Structure 1
């Protein structure tokens, strides 16, 4: 493997919904999840709009169209009127209806635009997927050119919308070329593959050392499911010990993954064992095997350590 390099990842925008990362080209209709200003399909620059902007534009256009229809009916009534009073009523009623319609349109704009967005996502599903596949091809081109940082940053954006194994594997390939640090905006849950993947286990091992707080139930479930394969791999036992230590973040994890933790209690670092004992204090019935193993390990290694006294 080539020498690992130190990198600083481009900041990824935080969005409430994944679809907010999408933009559509006004020229050709192609969709993209990338931040670039040019369209990968037609090459035009400055033509990309977010889906929210598109929905707002459609809403404004529909409002103007409907207002014109209402006012046209009012004008028709004006010309067909037989008296001045009828003409006045037609104009006043038309203006009132148009004003009322515009008021209601603005008041319920968010609801209308939300419905338009939903319709767009349903009807444009195939086009959106085609656009994202074009994004993947662009990232793959960077990967082939050994531009691993650019490739990863693009795949990270795509990964918010396409969660398939292919994107995860490509991201792991990129990450294997970087020196990982605790100050980096690292991901873990989004990289969990569908099956046993050695590249993911190697990445997990590094993350467990520098950012164990990223470990959630989905990661621990993966470790439990593929425990035998992980243990058989290079550095696998260390990974399992680190995973057991990371499971000590909250008590509910300790209870749920007590069998995994119990098998590695004797190899836990002192601070992790102390954390375990504090979580287990008064909880013998919830995890009896783990409780007994923790007590025996403390008696063997830290019997005279005052911090352990009275915990288990």
Structure 2
């Protein structure tokens, strides 16, 4: 069995859009999400945020339009045949420039997005090559022995590259670490379209230490591959852990009742107690098959348990108040 490493991972800094961390070299046009200031290809300190580069190009374009408008005014002024004509040309031209300036200012956010799209479309091959180079750099760091840094690099690349291969590399690295509750972990971005035992093992780990990371996409993934998970060595215990995580919210109990029905008998006492409490507090749960299954388990195992008696008394008092 592989010995897991105790590590410290830097928190993942989230951005509004995945491309917010993408940089481009002003010298060689290389893209990267790993560089800070120095380009990893040409070695020049010429990396610039791709949004800043788009804003720079947009500003140049706007100034060209303004200078063109001024050029028209100058030509018109030079060709005017009278003072009145010149005055009208200058007044009309200044109004045109002012209107152009106002329109450009108001449409800047939309124009900036269009400029970004142009950059990504024009440099699609270079962008892909840059991200491939970033992954190769991360793999080299992994082979050098710095697994935490390699994971952090792959995590940054994963914000832009959505392939199962990259997800699997991140999962395998995570599974080589001693995972803790205080770590900045993730799950949804690592879910795959197909069954993968390493991903399932990772889900099982998170079900123990970070139930809050198991959300609807995870429950759907587990239900889709439940039969294959049960064939794994610890598959049933993983499914029990996932069912225990589903008890965290009433919404999940409503959406996935049959998952809970299948593993309710295996739930630890604290998770079953929470399930019992949430069903008792729900006015419409009484007719559901899940409620009947839970009450059957309750009558068999916990009918005389003080924790459950306390819950029953609180529910009765709440009913009397209503």
Q: Which residue of 2 aligns with 1:278?
A: 277
Say if 1:78 and 1:87, in contact at 8 Å, map to a contact too. yes
Following TM superposition, by how much is the alpha carbon of 1:284 offset from its aligned partner in structure 2, in angstroms?
4.2
Say if 2:23 and 2:31, in contact at 8 Å, map to a contact too. yes
Aligned positions of 1:251-290 closer than 5 A: 251-281=250-280, 282-284=283-285, 287-288=288-289, 290=290
CA displacement 1:69-118 (0-9 Å, x = unmatched): 11111111122122233333333433332233223212221122122223
Q: Which residue of 2 aligns with 1:211?
A: 210
State the distance in 1 between where 2:102 and 2:221 align.
53
Say if 2:286 and 2:292, in contact at 8 Å, map to a contact too. no
**Ranges in structure 2 where 5+ consecutive residues have no aligned partner:** 317-322
State the distance in 2 between where 1:68 and 1:309 align.
79
Q: Which residue of 2 aligns with 1:291?
A: 291
Taking structure 1 as the reference length, the TM-score comes to 0.91
CA displacement 1:129-155 (0-9 Å, x = unmatched): 221111111111112222211111011
**Aligned: 1:307 with 2:310:** yes
Following TM superposition, by how much is the alpha carbon of 1:266 offset from its aligned partner in structure 2, in angstroms?
1.5
RMSD: 2.1
| Poorly superposed stretches of 4+, deviation over 6 Å | none
Say if 1:255 and 1:287, in contact at 8 Å, map to a contact too. no
Say if 1:22 and 1:51, in contact at 8 Å, map to a contact too. yes
Q: Which residue of 2 aligns with 1:34?
A: 34
Say if 1:143 and 1:174, in contact at 8 Å, map to a contact too. no
Select between 159-168 and 217-226 the one with higher mean Cα deviation.
Answer: 217-226
CA displacement 1:217-268 (0-9 Å, x = unmatched): 1111121122222222232221111101111122232233222211221121
**Aligned: 1:44 with 2:44:** yes
Select between 122-131 and 103-112 the one with higher mean Cα deviation.
Answer: 122-131
Say if 1:302 and 1:308, in contact at 8 Å, map to a contact too. no
What is the DSSP-based 3-state SS (H/G/I as helix, E as strand, rest coil) of the residue aligned with 2:247?
Answer: helix
Following TM superposition, by how much is the alpha carbon of 1:182 offset from its aligned partner in structure 2, in angstroms?
0.8
**Ranges in structure 1 where 5+ consecutive residues have no aligned partner:** none
State the distance in 1 between where 2:56 and 2:73 align.
26
Say if 1:187 and 1:214, in contact at 8 Å, map to a contact too. yes
**Aligned: 1:176 with 2:175:** yes
Following TM superposition, by how much is the alpha carbon of 1:285 offset from its aligned partner in structure 2, in angstroms?
6.1
State the distance in 1 between where 2:84 and 2:297 align.
98
Q: Which residue of 1 aligns with 2:319?
A: none
Say if 1:298 and 1:308, in contact at 8 Å, map to a contact too. no
Taking structure 2 as the reference length, the TM-score comes to 0.89
CA displacement 1:18-43 (0-9 Å, x = unmatched): 12222111111111122532222222
State the distance in 1 between where 2:186 and 2:299 align.
38
State the distance in 2 between where 1:138 and 1:168 align.
16
State the distance in 1 between where 2:163 and 2:299 align.
48
State the distance in 2 between where 1:287 and 1:43 align.
65
Select between 200-209 and 237-246 the one with higher mean Cα deviation.
Answer: 200-209
What is the DSSP-based 3-state SS (H/G/I as helix, E as strand, rest coil) of the residue aligned with 2:185?
Answer: coil
